[in-house]
Amino acid sequence: MYETIGIWVGAFFTLAIYSFLYKENPIYRLAEHLVVGISLGYTMAITYDITLKPRLIEPLLSGNHWILLVPAVLGILYITRFIPGIAWLSRYPIAFLMGTAMGVSFPLTLKTDVLRQLEAAMQPFYMSGMPWHEIFGNIVMIFGTLAALIYFFFSKPHKGLFFGTGSKIGIWVIMLGFGATFGFTVMGRISLLIGRIQYLLGDWLHLIE
Nearby residues of 92 by Cβ (< 8 Å), 6 or more positions away? 74, 77
Does 126 interact with other proteins (rule: CB under 8 A)?
no
Which residue among 27, 56, 125, 165 contacts other proteins (CB under 8 A)?
A: 56
Q: How far are the Cα atoms of 37, 50, 55, 102 from residue 40, in angstroms, in the given order?
A: 5, 15, 21, 26
Q: Please, which residue, 47 or 61, has the CB nearer to other proteins?
A: 47
Which residue among 25, 61, 87, 162 contacts other proteins (CB under 8 A)?
A: 87
Site string for other proteins, 4-23 (x = CB under 8 A): -xxx-xxx-xx-xxx-xxx-
d(CA 120, CA 125): 12
Residue 61 CB, nearest approach to other proteins (Å): 13
Among positions 140-159, residues that touch other proteins (CB under 8 A) are: 140-145, 147-149, 151-152
Which residue among 27, 72, 125, 164 contacts other proteins (CB under 8 A)?
A: 72
- From 14, 1, 32, select the one nearest 195 (Cα to Cα): 14
d(CA 75, CA 70): 9
Cα dihedral sign, 8-10-13-19 = negative
Residue 39 CB, nearest approach to other proteins (Å): 6
CA 172 to chain centre: 27
Residue 60 CB, nearest approach to other proteins (Å): 11
d(CA 177, CA 171): 10
Does 99 interact with other proteins (rule: CB under 8 A)?
yes
Does 116 interact with other proteins (rule: CB under 8 A)?
yes
Among positions 23-42, residues that touch other proteins (CB under 8 A) are: 29-42
Among positions 161-180, residues that touch other proteins (CB under 8 A) are: 170-180
Does 75 interact with other proteins (rule: CB under 8 A)?
yes
Does 184 interact with other proteins (rule: CB under 8 A)?
yes
d(CA 179, CA 71): 47
Answer whether 8's CB lies under 8 Å from 204's CB. yes
